[in-house]
Structure 1
Amino acid sequence: MLSILGIVLSLLMLMYFAYRGVSVLILAPILALFAVMMSGEVSQLFGVYTQVFMTGLGGYVVKYFPLFLLGAVFGKLMDDSGSAQSIAYSLVRKLGGHRALLAVVITCSILTYGGVSLFVVGFAIFPIAAAIFHAAAIPKRLIPGAIALGSLSFTMTALPGTPAIQNTIPMPFFGTDAFAAPGLGLIGSAVMFAAGYGWLSYRVRKAKHAAEGYGDTYHAPEKPTDDEHRHLPALWKALLPIILVVSCNYLLSKVIPLMDTAYLSEDKYGNTALNSVLGLWAIIGALVLSCVTIIILNWSRWKNLKETMNKGVMGSLLPIFNTASEVGYGAVIASLAAFAVISNYLLSISAGNVLISESIVISMLVGTTGSASGGLSIALSMMGEHFLQMADAAGISPELLHRVAAMASGGLDTLPHNGAVISLLAICGLTHKRSYFDIFMVTVVGSVLGLIVVISLGSLFGSF
């Protein structure tokens, strides 16, 4: 009983102190070892830290570092080349100010589906959103919800082929690729978009009926001058790298299996099966090609390409080590005897349906950690193999497991202590009190609705 209490207290403290801004790099090992001490294994602390925690952390870095690195470099290249701004301004002009809400959501969706991080999207889109929301008399407090709908929901977990880390983490566990269960992913995306956009549209109509207006004192954001705007990349140049990320990812996932990969069975390569690395290889190749394409297409625009690349590289380090530390934490918790009791209880909630069991476990962990990637990594590191065995026994495809896992990671992750939520509100100059409710509705409620639909259809018709 004391060891179970230690795990629960450890998780609660991880959530609380992460919300208070304490680095997870410090929190994860300390709280993992706290749980070990509560279990009565004090003499094993050093061994647990070096052989369990650090092994879990290192294994995650080895597996996913290329994705974090290339994703961060890609986002920085899109930002510094002006490509992100070009897409944003072009879409706003084409959709018009009377469709301000739709313009912001679609712009964020395109950028994040192409691999641009939320932080780049937030900084690039907020000034534009502020201008068109003010012109359309839409409250500023709704801007975070609009950005979150386009950045933190369906493009992150449900759309087939998205290079978001939440969609790539399940691949080596289930031997799938980024396009797993594409039909269900599209349906889930449609449900999430419709629920979120319907809610925000309702909030806009309600605000207009009350004649609320923009609300805050408006300071016109700095816009590109006519000369600067002319020097932004053409829309096709800005969109091409994003198109390449998705299309090349798909093509490589089909072409690589046609190559001679028998050498992977050698000891030198760890006796690896192609299915366990195919999805990672495809996304790595697609991101490399897209980064090279951005550099070539915008060759004359680079003020300091070396600095851009260096900033992208450095920007990848903290996110991956934060997530890897949470994975190390999860490895320690999973090694405790008390965790078997907790996991058996969670699985028993819906023992007859592995999809429901999987979504419950992942939702609990992403909600506790406040991190979609961290919670998903912990859950699959601890129970991924078990989920796969349950699915195999029930005749459920790994592709369906993948899609449900990815979508489950995008529900309760955006509770108030989530780092992306805190950053987004800071970018917009708003508070949880004023804007979090709308973020909750579009990212938590909308995502859970989409997940329920996908689980229901998957249970009835299987993966498609």
Structure 2
Amino acid sequence: MLGVISIILTLVALMYFAYKGVTVLVLAPLLAMAASLVAGEIPALYALSNIFMPAAAGYIQSYFPVFLAGAIFGKLMGVSGAANSIAEFISDKFGEKRAIAAIVVATALLTYGGVSLFVVVFAMYPIGATLLRRADIPKKLLPAAIALGAFTFTMTALPGSPQYLNTMPTIYFGTDTFAGPVLGLIAASIMFFGGVYYLNNRSDKFKSEGEGYGDHPEENLHELGGKIPSFGLAIAPILIVFIINFGLTNWYFKQESVIAKYESVGGGINGTWPVVLGLGVAVVFILITMGKYITNKNKVIFDGAVGGLLPIFNTASEVGYGGVIKSLAAFTTVKMAIVAMAIPSVFKVAISTTLLAGIVGSSSGGTAIALEVLSEEFLSMGIHPEALHRIMLVAAGGLDSLPHCGAVITLLAVTQMDHKRSYKHIAMVTMGIPLISVIVISVFYLLTGIV
């Protein structure tokens, strides 16, 4: 009984203090030790050194190259002006009447191209705000428009996404980043069209009531323009990432001779390799072709690399916490309760993953814990690994955007909005509609078996 109490109390504490702004780097190890102390099964210091740290270190060992390459790539795309060039091009093609759709598509293209979610927020804010201001659409919808393009279908659903979240299940399920393509495209369509419809509907309602962009004197926006790469050059790195990722995943690493070579040294194909190689080649391409747009390249690369450290250590800390929780005898009781639910197995996967993501306020954190503690049970349920991969990630993008979510807090801060004005719109496009999509693809898989 004490073990169950320790799990519940520490999970609630993790959510509460994260909402208050306490870093998970401090929270996770402290709460892991607290859980072991309350449960009375494992000495707290032993839990820290012998369970928490190996689990956290194992996560870093598996995913550090993805975080490093992705952070540097995103930084270069932003500093070089390539992100602005892509956004401007799409915005010009869409026109003012489709300003919201333009913001979503531009953001999605950058995210699907491998630019970090946080980098996309900073890159898209001045562009998105300028577009909404020109179209006289209330600014309070801007955070939701950016979130729809960055935090939903491009992160969890679209096959081949180089976002590190899409690489996480590959280690556990033996899948690749293109896993569950049909399920992913169905979910992505629901999220994109449903989200754009909702935001346009809200925009029309607000404008009919006489509400426009609003007066925001402190935002210091400037008109778009300036010395940036052409659209053709700016889009090239994103195409490079996609082509290399696709080619290596679906051709090179599928060859028997290549598989045998890795098996001969006691290993196997790592699903993160194609993404890392694609991002690496794209980084070199940017440095060579867009060097004149980047001042102090060494500093930019250093800043990008350092920018990848906090996200991976945050997630690794959550994995370490999950490792300690997993070691408690009470967790077996909780796990068996989840597995024994009288519902189809795919819904057990979705429910457990989205609840964990909601509790820690992070899709990657929730996925990391779910993979660490439940992946073996998931695989034993007889669900196709590719269906597991995609349904799990779409579910992780459900309750991950609760008010204490770090990405939501950052988004509101960058856009100079607040929870009161913008959060309900963020919640609808990043939680409400994604939860509908995971139900739809789960039922679709149950009825057809198609992945």
TM-score under structure 2 length normalisation:
0.96
Report the Cα distance in structure 2 between the residues aligned to 1:381 and 1:245, rounded to whole angstroms: 28
Deviations 1:306-331 (A, max 9, x none): 01100011001111001000000000
Classify 1:196/1:224 alpha carbon distance in 2 versus 1 (closer, same or farther; 3 Å).
Answer: closer
Report the Cα distance in structure 1 between the residues aligned to 2:291 and 2:127, rounded to whole angstroms: 26
Which of 253, 263, 272 is the matching residue for 2:267?
Answer: 272
**Which residues in structure 2 correspond to 1:223-242 (within 5 Å)?**
223-224=223-224, 228=226, 231-242=227-238
Quote how far apart the aligned CAs of 1:14 are: 0.5
CA contact (8 A) 1:140 1:216 kept: no
Q: Which residue of 1 aligns with 2:29?
A: 29
Classify 1:311/1:350 alpha carbon distance in 2 versus 1 (closer, same or farther; 3 Å).
Answer: farther
Report the Cα distance in structure 2 between the residues aligned to 1:118 and 1:46, rounded to whole angstroms: 35
**In the alignment, structure 1 residue 255 sits paired with structure 2 residue 252:** yes
Q: Which residue of 1 aligns with 2:424?
A: 437
Q: Which residue of 2 aligns with 1:244?
A: 240
Classify 1:285/1:350 alpha carbon distance in 2 versus 1 (closer, same or farther; 3 Å).
Answer: farther
Question: Helix, strand or coil: the match of 2:212?
Answer: coil
CA contact (8 A) 1:3 1:35 kept: yes
**In the alignment, structure 1 residue 378 sits paired with structure 2 residue 369:** yes
**In the alignment, structure 1 residue 452 sits paired with structure 2 residue 444:** no
Quote how far apart the aligned CAs of 1:87 are: 0.7
Q: Which residue of 1 aligns with 2:349?
A: 358
Specify the code of the residue in structure 1 equivalent to 2:47.
V
Specify the code of the residue in structure 1 equivalent to 2:267.
T
**In the alignment, structure 1 residue 190 sits paired with structure 2 residue 189:** yes
Classify 1:217/1:273 alpha carbon distance in 2 versus 1 (closer, same or farther; 3 Å).
Answer: closer
CA contact (8 A) 2:84 2:127 kept: no
Specify the code of the residue in structure 2 equivalent to 1:59.
G
Quote how far apart the aligned CAs of 1:261 are: 4.0
Report the Cα distance in structure 2 between the residues aligned to 1:133 and 1:223, rounded to whole angstroms: 12
Report the Cα distance in structure 2 between the residues aligned to 1:350 and 1:167, rounded to whole angstroms: 29
Question: Helix, strand or coil: the match of 1:21?
Answer: coil
Q: Which residue of 2 aligns with 1:222?
A: 222
CA contact (8 A) 1:166 1:409 kept: no
Quote how far apart the aligned CAs of 1:76 are: 0.4
Quote how far apart the aligned CAs of 1:449 are: 1.0
Report the Cα distance in structure 1 between the residues aligned to 2:294 and 2:145, rounded to whole angstroms: 31
CA contact (8 A) 1:361 1:379 kept: yes
Quote how far apart the aligned CAs of 1:262 are: 3.1
Residues 255-264 or 330-339, more deviating: 255-264
Quote how far apart the aligned CAs of 1:46 are: 2.3
Report the Cα distance in structure 2 between the residues aligned to 1:206 and 1:450, rounded to whole angstroms: 25
Gap regions ≥5 residues in structure 1: none
Specify the code of the residue in structure 2 equivalent to 1:305.
K
RMSD of aligned residue pairs (Cα, Å): 1.4
CA contact (8 A) 1:399 1:463 kept: no
Deviations 1:325-345 (A, max 9, x none): 000000000000001111111
Report the Cα distance in structure 2 between the residues aligned to 1:433 and 1:343, rounded to whole angstroms: 37
CA contact (8 A) 1:131 1:220 kept: no
Quote how far apart the aligned CAs of 1:273 are: 3.0
Q: Which residue of 1 aligns with 2:385?
A: 398
CA contact (8 A) 2:34 2:44 kept: no
Quote how far apart the aligned CAs of 1:16 are: 0.8
Residues 338-347 or 439-448, more deviating: 338-347
Specify the code of the residue in structure 2 equivalent to 1:303.
T
Specify the code of the residue in structure 2 equivalent to 1:210.
E
Report the Cα distance in structure 1 between the residues aligned to 2:316 and 2:228, rounded to whole angstroms: 37
CA contact (8 A) 2:166 2:177 kept: yes
**In the alignment, structure 1 residue 105 sits paired with structure 2 residue 104:** yes
Quote how far apart the aligned CAs of 1:263 are: 4.5
CA contact (8 A) 1:350 1:357 kept: no
CA contact (8 A) 1:12 1:368 kept: yes
Q: Which residue of 2 aligns with 1:55?
A: 54
Quote how far apart the aligned CAs of 1:260 are: 3.2
Specify the code of the residue in structure 2 equivalent to 1:442.
V
Report the Cα distance in structure 2 between the residues aligned to 1:261 and 1:180, rounded to whole angstroms: 18
**Which residues in structure 2 correspond to 1:286-297 (within 5 Å)?**
286-297=278-289
Specify the code of the residue in structure 2 equivalent to 1:109.
A
Quote how far apart the aligned CAs of 1:385 are: 1.3
**Which residues in structure 2 correspond to 1:145-184 (within 5 Å)?**
145-184=144-183
**In the alignment, structure 1 residue 136 sits paired with structure 2 residue 135:** yes
Question: Helix, strand or coil: the match of 2:308?
Answer: helix
Question: Helix, strand or coil: the match of 2:380?
Answer: helix
Specify the code of the residue in structure 2 equivalent to 1:257.
K
CA contact (8 A) 2:130 2:224 kept: no
Report the Cα distance in structure 2 between the residues aligned to 1:295 and 1:384, rounded to whole angstroms: 40
Quote how far apart the aligned CAs of 1:168 are: 0.9
Give percent identity, aligned residues only: 45
Quote how far apart the aligned CAs of 1:201 are: 1.0
**In the alignment, structure 1 residue 320 sits paired with structure 2 residue 319:** no
Count, aligned residues: 448
Gap regions ≥5 residues in structure 2: none
Report the Cα distance in structure 2 between the residues aligned to 1:246 and 1:357, rounded to whole angstroms: 32
CA contact (8 A) 2:41 2:328 kept: no
Q: Which residue of 2 aligns with 1:199?
A: 198
Quote how far apart the aligned CAs of 1:15 are: 0.7
Deviations 1:207-233 (A, max 9, x none): 1110111123355612355xx2xx311
Specify the code of the residue in structure 2 equivalent to 1:184.
L
Q: Which residue of 2 aligns with 1:120?
A: 119
Q: Which residue of 2 aligns with 1:17?
A: 17
Which of 260, 264, 276 is the matching residue for 1:284?
Answer: 276
